[in-house]
Structure 1
Amino acid sequence: MSYIFQDWDANKGNLKGRLVMVLFRLARPASLHPLLRVIWLPYLAFYKVFVEWFMCIELPHWTKVGKNFYLGHGHALVVNGCTVIGENCFFRHSTTLGNIRREDGSYSGSPVIGNNVELGSNVCIIGEIRVGNNVRIGAGSVVVKDIPDNSIAVGNPARVIKQLQPIGQKVVQEQLACEPG
């Protein structure tokens, strides 16, 4: 039961986010085994119609999403099903994570998003892109290159404008600064 509600606290005060993520977590087991997909078929049809068509959120049930996923505003979110999303991520509305159709008709890989990533509204991450851990990407950014850990990126195309201190090192440095002479 905790699996189904693993995003509940992260979406506190966000009824739409809570609802979508509970429905997503209920649909996710169907991607693990073909027999479950057959058994879950009526629910998967409901999920597709309700979440994708009525709530305008494309989050395929086979997408790998880590715990504590926050869905801010949730409208017009498009996530390619092969995308991997880490833990404690925060996605705002009108965000797209997708692949690229090549000239020969094949498709590139999908984005891999690290842990503790925050995406502003209207962010596009296109192609086989790696977004590191502890990254913030500003609103309206178009990400076409990898973003390293502990970064803030903005723009079209997105570029790193600031490197952040890793969380563990920051704590150590603050503790050292507090020690007497």
Structure 2
Amino acid sequence: MDNKAKVIYKRGTSELKQDTHRAAELTFSFNNCPPDEEDKKEGLLRELLGKCGRKLFIEHNFHCDLGYNIEVGENFYAGFNFTVLDMAKVNIGNNCMIGPNVGIYTAGHSIQPAGRTKEGYAIPITIGNDVWIGGSSTILAGVTIGDNAIVAAGSVVTKDVPANTIAAGNPAKHIKHIE
């Protein structure tokens, strides 16, 4: 499937309810683990997520739609209040760090009022290797962030970020090349 291919989903189907309920149960268990139960927390994440590399760590108050559409590589860290709306695939590479209060949103909605309550769409997001996303940033549907890129804190990423660059602002724009 093309990385930018739109996924259409029907709201309220029994399968979607079951899948979101599973994710809600696992994230609830994860978010309510005592801080010293790191092995249990990691086990819950490995059960929830579609694919995980070695050295996986997400702080509490993690939320997602389905979980199984999220794939993370080796050495992954995400700060507090990480939210992923994963109605489509979210692929995150190796050695990535995500700051607190970051949202990654594959989901979108019809501009026509009548359609908004019946179905939605989602477009996959890809984040390369060695990427750093600063706190309170938002990554929107269909975006690709290239290897070694940095997204500055507070940015809203609406378009692709090339490899080896720093992007910042709302909407995020290229501000510097990384040598």
Larger radius of gyration between Structure 1 and Structure 2: 1
Tell me which stretches of 4 or more aligned residues in structure 1 moved more than 6 Å. 14-19
User: Residue 79 of structure 1 aligns to a residue in which SS?
Assistant: strand
Q: 1:155 to 1:24 in 2, by over 3 A?
A: same
2-structure distance, mates of 1:108, 1:139? 24
Comparing 105-114 and 138-147, the one that deviates more:
105-114
Shift of 1:80: 2.3
- Flag the structure with higher helix content: 1
Shift of 1:17: 7.9
User: Residue 133 of structure 1 aligns to a residue in which SS?
Assistant: coil
Give the aligned partner of residue 178 of structure 1.
none
- Flag the structure with higher strand content: 2
Normalised TM-score (structure 1): 0.61
Normalised TM-score (structure 2): 0.62
Give the aligned partner of residue 56 of structure 1.
61
Give the aligned partner of residue 78 of structure 1.
83
Aligned residue pairs: how many?
A: 128
Q: 1:145 to 1:18 in 2, by over 3 A?
A: farther
User: Residue 23 of structure 1 aligns to a residue in which SS?
Assistant: helix
2-structure distance, mates of 1:154, 1:26? 34
Residue 98, structure 1, aligned to residue 112, structure 2: no
Shift of 1:110: 2.9
Shift of 1:108: 3.4
RMSD: 2.8
2-structure distance, mates of 1:163, 1:77? 27
The one of the two structures with greater contact order (alpha-carbon pairs below 8 A, sep at least 6) is: 2
Name structure 2 gaps, 5 residues minimum: 1-34, 52-57
Q: 1:75 to 1:16 in 2, by over 3 A?
A: farther
Shift of 1:163: 0.9
Q: 1:17 to 1:139 in 2, by over 3 A?
A: farther
